[in-house]
Amino acid sequence: MNDLVLFLQLAVQLGTPLLFATLGGILNDKVGNLNLGIEGMMMVGACAGFGVAYHTSSPLLSIVTAGVASLLLSLLYALVTVTFKGNQTVTGFAITILGTGIANFSGESLSGLTLSPSFIRIMGIQIIPVLINIPILGTVLFSQSYLFHLSLWLAFGLYFYLKKTNYGLIMRMVGENPAAADTSGINTTSYKYIHIALGGLLCGLGGAFLSLVFVPRWQDNIVAGMGWIAVALVIFSTWNPIKAIFGSYLFGLLRALSIKYQNISFRIGNNDISITSQIIDMLPYLLTIVILVLTTLSKKRENQAPAWLGKSYFREDR
């Protein structure tokens, strides 16, 4: 039983950076800008956060810096896609490569450094007294870092924002039909800029989780592809922050599973079947494709991608 609890705890930890990045991706996508630059933003956030953490040992400052660094990168993305109306897919890739390069380059001097013990204690696992006694879920949910709780609050907050507030409604409208939004007097450009920036900030927090809590060191390519899993997760969760929570932890679970059971073998009849870890690693992407097909078939309006996703809005064509 203890084994299961520790395993789930690890799975949740692996899912937290994915959750941050997915929430950022959802924010971006809902205003109509396909964000493929999540990996680059996570890298920049991880590097900036670690750099500040090493020099100041201040948790708050390092998290804020991580967010600001990736916010700046996402502003660059916004500049190219919203103002210059550049192709969003290509720009996203460019931002990924740029972000990864900047982070690896700046991080060379940070390689091998360790954070102060007090910092690691604050950012590490915090045990919440009474709730931890709940069997299984207690350890899994209430023996985690503060950033984990932040991610959950952010997810609920984002859901509330999108579904229940006026700004959320307007923002969704900008993503569905910017022409209609523009006609009603909404400044689509500023809505896009703000939400792309906020989305970038969230991705940076995801990267910061890796370099400040999970590992916690700076290493070249510390994100190692998690940004791309987040891109798939945004689709998997049908742009819904609550589903993103479940999706992230599911993907985190699959990742932990592939490491725990590197080779699941069993017999069917006379045949030895063995499922290697590579197959389990494939599952997240496979599941995403399945969900994509299902949502397209279901045609339920709320599960569809924002109608204007990926398309640049040309005011002149209105």
Partner 1 sequence: MKRILIIVMVTLLMVSLMACAPVEKPETSNTSNTESGDTKTDSNDKKTVSGLKAFTKDELKVGFIYSSPIGSEGYIYVHNLGRLALEEMGIKTLYLENIPETSECEKAARDLIQQGCNVIYAVSFGHMEYIANVADEYPDVYFNHCTGYITKNNMSTYMGKIYQAQYLAGIAAGMRTATGKIGFVTTFPIPECVRQVNAYTLGARSVNPTATVEVKWTSSWYDPATEKTAATELLNGGCDVIAAYCDTMNPQMAAAERGAWATGGTSPGGEAVVPNAFLTSAIFDYATFYKQDIQEIMDGTWSSTGGFKWRGLDEHVVKLEGISKNCAPGTKEAVDAAEKGIIDGSLDIWKGELKDNTGVVKVKSGETLTDEQLLALDWFVEGVIGKVG
Residues that bind partner 1 (CB under 8 A): 3, 6-7, 10, 14, 79, 83-84, 104, 111-114, 210, 214-215, 217, 219-222, 224, 226, 255-256, 259-260, 262-263, 277-278
Cβ atoms < 10 Å from Cβ of 29? 22
Closer CB to partner 1, 73 or 226, in the complex:
226
Sign of CA dihedral 166, 68, 220, 36: positive
> In sequence order, what E strands does the chain have?
126-127, 143-144, 263-268, 271-276
Closer CB to partner 1, 170 or 275, in the complex:
275
Quote the least distance from Cβ 98 to partner 1, whole Å: 11
Do 43 and 207 touch, CB atoms closer than 8 A? yes
Quote the least distance from Cβ 310 to partner 1, whole Å: 22
Closest CA to 36 of 298, 193, 254, 227: 227
What is the b/e burial string over 111-147, where b = at least 16 CB atoms within 10 angstroms of the residue's CB? Answer: eeeebeeebeebbeeeeeeeeeeeeeebbbbbbbbeb
Closer CB to partner 1, 260 or 311, in the complex:
260
Quote the least distance from Cβ 222 to partner 1, whole Å: 5
Quote the least distance from Cβ 277 to partner 1, whole Å: 7
Closer CB to partner 1, 7 or 246, in the complex:
7
Closer CB to partner 1, 271 or 278, in the complex:
278
The pair of structure tokens assigned to 176 is 């569905």
Whole-number Å distance between alpha carbons of 93 and 90: 5
